[in-house]
Structures are given as C-alpha cells and as structure tokens.
Amino acid sequence: MVEWCLPQDIDLEGIEFKSMASGSHKIQSDFIYFRKGPFFGLACFANMPVESELERGARMKSVGVLSPSYTLLYRYMHFLENQVRHQLETPGHYSHLAAFYEDKKGVLHAGSGRGGSLPPVYWLPSIHRYMYPEMKFFGEQILVLWKFALLRKRILIFSPPPVGVVCYRVYCCCCLANVSLPGIGSTVPESKPFFYVNVADIESLEVEVSYVACTTEKIFEEKRELYDVYVDNQNVKTHHGHLQPLLKINGADREKYRRLNEQRQMLLYSQEVGDGYTPCEEDLFVLFFLEENNRIFQTLLEVSASQDKTLTAEHARGMGLDPQGDRSFLMDLLEAYGIDVMLVIDNPCCP
C-alpha cells in the first residue's frame, strides 16, 4: 500500500508494485528504477526484521521519487537510502520527506512529453561506478544486444532480485543504440528504457513497439507476444525465426569485441601512468558504440546518395560488419531506418 505521498493529488495507481520488486522479501535492500506513465521513478527498498506477529517478523518499505526525466534521479539515491532506513526505524515521521519535496518540487506535467528525451549518453556521470561491470557481464553477447538495440526490438531482461544492477543493464542496452548523425533515427521509435516492469505493466507493454526493460517475474518468459528478445543471465534468445541469425556471433563481432577490450587495456594503462586527462571506462564504452553506429550509417547514407545505390560486401566490411554473417541484420537495418539502397551481397545458403 502507499503509506504517504506528496503531492496528494497525483495518480499513483500501481506504484506500490513498481517501487517494490516482486521477490524483494528475500533480500535486505535494493534500489529500483521504473516508469510510471510519462514519469520515471527511483525507489530505495529495505527490509528489517522486527519482533511483531502483526508484521510477520519483517518490516519492508520503499521510499521513492518521480521525475519527468531519469537522468538526474541518481542524485537522490543517498537521501532515499537514508530515508527508507529512517522510515523502518521510526515509522510515521515524514517531516524530512516533506522538506525534501518542498525544496525540490517541480511541476510534474501529465502531458505526453518524451520523458528523459536526452540521449542516454548524457546520463553518464551518474553511473560511472556501475555500468562497465554490467557491460562486461554480457561478454561477447553485448554485440548481439547491440544489433537488437539498433533495430529497436523489444528487449526484456530477466533476473531474480536484487534488481538495481539489472536496471543498469537496461540503461546499458539503450546506450548501444546512440547515433549522432543528423536525420538518422527519425523513422524508428526512440530507444526507451522502461527499467523495472511486472505483471501490472502487461497492458501497457502490449502496445509498445520498442522498449528495454527488466523483470524479476519468470512468468514473462511465457508471454512471448510482449517481447522480441529475452535475456536470462548471459543467455540471449528470440522466438522470432527471422531474428535467429542475429544470435550468432560472427568474425566481425569477435573483432569488435577484441578492439573494445584492447581500447580498455590501453585506457587502464594510461590511468596507471597518470597520462593527463583520461576518460572513464563508461565513456569509452558509449563512445565505442557511438562511433561504430555512426560509421555504419555514414556509409549507408553515402551509398543511398550515390547513383547506383548499391551496397557491396566491400561496403559491409568497411562498416565493420561481416558480409555473410550480418546480411540479415543489414537487411533489417535498412528496412527499420527506411534507407534506400540495394544489397548485392550473395547469400551462400541459396543456390
């Protein structure tokens, strides 16, 4: 139940299920990013044993904030962690929360504004400590997720609690699809982080054509109409036959992964020797994929502006793609982004 809120006239229906992940009773503390209508939320959860039959031996609470954008929510993490502990130890005292609201309150427009519409790259300072481990967690599979993210597929990540780190995996996937070339992406849906979702979100997910989200509820795996790509641990799978070829790691993917790791090693070395300003690992990761994406779309735009509009195996290699292994990815990409070129890469499977 919602115990207390400010302002009191805001629609919070279902928020209790978003701010406390299913299965949280098994853990001591967690944090959770979620989406509520046009807003984004961050809540901190804590679980304290109590000697009370009425509370069945445990007191569990979440304290959270809502904002039109997710990019600054991390700033309030420490406050929320302290407050949830305070609420557990001295329930019913809301003066700190009321003061916080008075200090920070903005107008939460209920319009359809593109919440967090800044590209995810601008959120970088907030998660320096967290994102690289999450990217490393996926290993080579990050290249498979990169292709699905660029194609704006519906990606659902399953994990048991704690769910906080999994919310960073959602964000990490959104960062894979950044493109900074003007005019690219106007034909595809925006890369939307939905963060944590549960069964109460099924209705809203049914109408989404593109999203990245995470859940702690295994039942989602059976609801195939809700997602295109399902990620369980490092296992990435899809039930769509035409997307199956994208699950296979090819030579160009391995080469990309090798380069990414090589750049990381060079970065770690320059940090050790204190060689002036050095970017952090997350900057390196985001910029690596941004450059890969720009290189692909720059080539596609040049070919579409040429007289014969012909995309060859040589072009594919120049974009860092495998002419055979990435053939179906390229075809999907051209269709998704409405780029008018003719693919003349022979398909070795066909006579």
Q: Which of 341, 150, 166 is nearest to 243 (CA)?
A: 150
- Are the C-beta atoms of residues 198 and 22 closer than 8 Å to each other? yes
Look at residue 64 in the predicted model and tell me its pLDDT. 96
Residue where one domain finishes, among candidates 44, 77, 99: 99
Pick left, alpha or beta for residue 309 (phi over 0 → left; psi -120 to 50 → alpha; otherwise beta).
left
Residue 127 within any structural domain of the chain? no
Residue 332 within any structural domain of the chain? no
Instruction: State how far the Cα of 239 lies from the Cα of 77, in Å rounded to an integer.
Output: 37
Instruction: State how far the Cα of 163 lies from the Cα of 23, in Å rounded to an integer.
Output: 10
Q: How confident is the model over 276-320, as pLDDT tens digits? A: 655 677 778 889 999 999 999 999 999 999 999 999 999 999 999
Question: Bridge-partner residues for 170, per DSSP?
Answer: none
Q: How confident is the model over 47-89, as pLDDT tens digits? A: 987 877 776 778 899 999 999 888 888 889 999 999 999 999 9
153, 241: one domain: yes
Domain that holds residue 34: 15-99
- Number of domains into which the chain is organized: 2
242, 152: one domain: yes
153, 53: one domain: no
150, 222: one domain: yes
Residue 91 within any structural domain of the chain? yes
pTM of the model: 0.89
Mean pLDDT in residue range 124-150: 76
